[in-house]
Amino acid sequence: MVQHLELPKDLLLGAVLIHVTGQSEMEVENYRGILFYSRERVRLSVKEGQLEVTGQDLNIEYYSNDNMKITGCIRQISYLM
């Protein structure tokens, strides 16, 4: 139905929204919580499962109820079902 009505999925389905700027910056919206955080790995809980970001010198610049910003050298973004 969402597809037929051309409605934004992130609003209606609560899907995670990721903006990546180059290799050094990413913004995540619609996440549920932080599961694990180290310099090399950030694991987030999202509606579809888990989202894992791996890299070097990862830093959570800020995080709020709606979005978070991760900076550092991003190598991989993967979904863990």
**Segment contacting other proteins by CB under 8 A, of 12-20, 27-35, 46-54, 73-81:** 27-35
Distance CA(43)–CA(31), nearest Å, equals 11
Which residue, 15 or 71, has its beta carbon nearer to other proteins?
A: 71
Q: Binding string, 36-65, against other proteins, x = CB under 8 A?
A: xxxx-------------------xxxxxxx
Distances (CA, A) of 21 to 15, 39, 47, 55, 71: 20, 19, 23, 14, 10
# of chain residues touching other proteins (CB under 8 A): 14
Nearest to 48 by CA among 5, 18, 6: 18
From 35, 47, 48, 79, residue interacting with other proteins (rule: CB under 8 A): 35
